[in-house]
Homo-oligomer: A and B are copies of this chain.
Amino acid sequence: MEQLTFSKLELNKPFYLGDIILSEQEIMDYAQAFDPLEFHTNKEAAAKSHFKGLVASGSHVFTLIHRTKWIPVFGKTVLAGLEVNNWKFLKPIYPNQKITSTVTITAIKPNTEKHYATVTWFYELKNEQQELLQVLEMIVLHKQ
C-alpha cells in the first residue's frame, strides 16, 4: 500500500480508507478477547437482547480499520498518539454489513522548529445507506 503523509491530504477533505465486513465469528472472537458482553459473544443471548441479534463490540470495527487501512498508509510518520475524543457509537454494527470508512484531517498544528506537527484525524464509519455508525477524533503527533 502506498505510504502517504498527512501533508499530502487537503484539510477538511475526506480520504477514503476502504470498506470492511465483520463476520459473526470475528465479532465473537474479538469480544471474547476484549469485550465479553453477552450480546457480543453469544448469538442466543444477543437475539433476546434489545439489539435482537449479535452486534460488534464498539471498539472492534474502528480498531480493525485503524490497523488494516490507516496504519499501512499513514503509519510511517507517527511519533506518538496523543488523544482520542468524541468516539461515538451511534448505531449497532451487525455481522456481514458493509462498513465504509473515511478519515478527514480537520486540524494541523505544525512545530516547524522541531519538525513535527499535531494532526487531528476525524474518522467516519457509515453503512450502505450512508448512515453514520461511528465517529471518532484521533490526535497524533507526526514527523514533518
Contacts and interface: CB of A to CB of B under 8 A. Distances in A.
Interface of A: 33-37, 50-51, 58-59, 63, 66-67, 71, 75, 78-89, 92
Q: How many copies does the complex hold?
A: 2
Nearest to A82: B89
Given A67-B33, A67-B34, A67-B35, A80 B75 contact: no
A6 B120 CA distance: 33
B34 A63 contact: yes
A137 B132 CA distance: 22
Contacts of A80: 50-51, 89, 92
Contacts of A84: 58, 84, 87
22 contacts: A34-B66, A34-B67, A35-B66, A35-B67, A37-B71, A37-B78, A50-B79, A50-B80, A58-B81, A58-B84, A59-B59, A59-B63, A80-B89, A80-B92, A82-B88, A82-B89, A83-B86, A83-B87, A84-B87, A85-B86, A85-B87, A87-B87
